[in-house]
Amino acid sequence: MAKRFLLALDQGTTSSRAILFDDEGGIYGSSNEEFRQIYPRPGWVEHDPEDIWRTQCNTARNVLDDAGATPDDIAAIGITNQRETVLLWDRRTGEPIHNAIVWQCRRTTEICEQLAADGLTDTFRERTGLVLDPYFSGTKVKWLLDHVPGARERSAKGELCFGTVDAWLLYKLTGKHATDPSNASRTLLYNIMEHRWDETLLQHLDVPAEILPEVMPTSGVFGETTVLGGSIPVASMCGDQQSALFGQTAFGRLESKNTYGTGCFLLANTGKEPVVSKHGLVTTIAWDLGKGPEYALEGSIFIAGAVVQWLRDELKMIASAAESESVASEVPDTGGVYVVPAFVGLGAPHWDMRARGLIVGLTRGSNRAHIVRAALESISFQTSDIIHSMESDTGERIPILKVDGGAAANNLLMQHQADVLGIPVVRGKVTDTTALGAAFLAGLAVGFWPNLDALRGIWQEERTFSPSWNESQRSEALSGWEHSIKRARMR
């Protein structure tokens, strides 16, 4: 029987989702299930690995049932996942030895500080493209090996498997122990220049090579699963942000995307060339389509859509996130008001953890609409700071920005983004770009789609926002923003 669908499994931080895509890249059905967040101490975040697996499995079964589809209808499964989250399990029984330590968890801050004090910051940056931060996986693995009784002995005997969430799902689906370079490149253990686990870094983190998964191409058959009944190939695994870049068909050099969620994640494709940032961005592997890794520069913004939630929940200025657009539209501009939402410090390119938020430029005439508008604009200004860093690092201009995520629905924000950047901002029809990327990657691997051009052909734009400002409007707005950032900084 002809295969009609691709099944994308999108394992996120708060929920697991399964989406069926047809051969036009359209969504045929989807299922979503939230799961428990575990906070053992302030700043610590865990997930129960069985919750991750159960909810992911349920959603896969539900989406097939709802669509009246069987495994025979599915050409392949593609996995995309919350990145950096760490699991260790027994190779033979599959039993996890501890809860998963989630990317958000800060328990390894001291380990990172010690590595930095030992002078290893550059060693890690040069080999992994990353910064020494608890966010990434490596120090979490070390923590588990150091703290779970018996873990060191068992790992030395080859009895344990380490994996990020992609590897955990693959193991549960197929029994195989493997990951892909987009996920491996977030671990602090993988040498992105030489495409291998790095002995030196493993030694610094005291992680035995015996527990590491095999690294296989992002797009390619990892194994077959019979968990849903008939046999289905698992044909892609990719970290969620890189998968979104692929789902936006940003295959070419300097093609870029921004996801506007609680925070923002910006990635620009740098092709076969890894670009090491001088502006606090990280270098990451975007994917490997079987011909070696392709790279991306990545920058993130801590507070993006969250500033809209703050207007709603703390200031009570708006009733819903969507209302920010109509309220901001009551005024033609912010009247010189700027909001800097440095609630948790400032990330790239400023990197000032002690910076705090502020509202500047207030006059007697400033009203709610000005402040709401300025808060929205703070999202696009922060984005433009990162784009400018990417341009400085690559020495080239980013030509267009593709967008997704909850706050990308805001037309006023997207128009301001185009104005501030002076480039087109393009929103696609499918907003589940992360899952779409997983489907594209799996579909390529099994010949459901023949090549990248076929994917470009089915990707559909919903709306393009063209820049409407001249150079002097742009530089005036940006200089006001820079001035406000300076005031928010503590150093």
Binding site for ligand ADP (CB under 6 A): 261-262, 305-306, 308-309, 321-322, 324-325, 405-407, 409-410
* Bridge partners (DSSP) listed for residue 265: 259, 300
For 430, which DSSP code?
Answer: -
State the minimum distance, in angstroms, from the CB of residue 262 to ligand ADP. Answer: 3
Residue 12 main-chain phi, psi, to 5 deg = -95, 180
State the minimum distance, in angstroms, from the CB of residue 260 to ligand ADP. Answer: 6
Could you tell me if 155 and 145 are in contact, meaning their C-beta atoms sit under 8 angstroms apart?
A: yes
Quick one: 156 or 322, whose CB is closer to ligand ADP?
A: 322
Quick one: 309 or 394, whose CB is closer to ligand ADP?
A: 309
State the minimum distance, in angstroms, from the CB of residue 376 to ligand ADP. Answer: 7
Quick one: 32 or 394, whose CB is closer to ligand ADP?
A: 32
Quick one: 48 or 323, whose CB is closer to ligand ADP?
A: 323
CA dist., res. 216 & res. 148, Å (int):
29
State the minimum distance, in angstroms, from the CB of residue 348 to ligand ADP. Answer: 18
Quick one: 14 or 475, whose CB is closer to ligand ADP?
A: 14
State the minimum distance, in angstroms, from the CB of residue 190 to ligand ADP. Answer: 26
**249: nearest Cα among 105, 412, 407, 441:** 441
State the minimum distance, in angstroms, from the CB of residue 276 to ligand ADP. Answer: 28
CA dist., res. 359 & res. 342, Å (int):
10
Quick one: 319 or 322, whose CB is closer to ligand ADP?
A: 322
Helix (H, G, I), strand (E, B) or coil at 17: strand
Strands (E), 26-140: 27-34, 46-47, 74-81, 87-90, 100-101
For 43, which DSSP code?
Answer: T
Checking 121-124 for CB contacts under 8 A at 24+ apart, the result is 123/200, 123/201, 123/204, 124/188, 124/201, 124/204
State the residue for tokens 């620009």. 268
Looking at beta carbons, which residue is closest to ligand ADP? 406
State the minimum distance, in angstroms, from the CB of residue 33 to ligand ADP. Answer: 15
State the minimum distance, in angstroms, from the CB of residue 130 to ligand ADP. Answer: 21
CA dist., res. 339 & res. 150, Å (int):
51
Where b means 16+ CB within 10 Å and e means fewer, 78-95 reads bbbbbbbbbbbbebeeee
Peptide bond into 349 cis (omega under 30): yes
Could you tell me if 488 and 346 are in contact, meaning their C-beta atoms sit under 8 angstroms apart?
A: yes
Quick one: 39 or 50, whose CB is closer to ligand ADP?
A: 39
Quick one: 382 or 410, whose CB is closer to ligand ADP?
A: 410
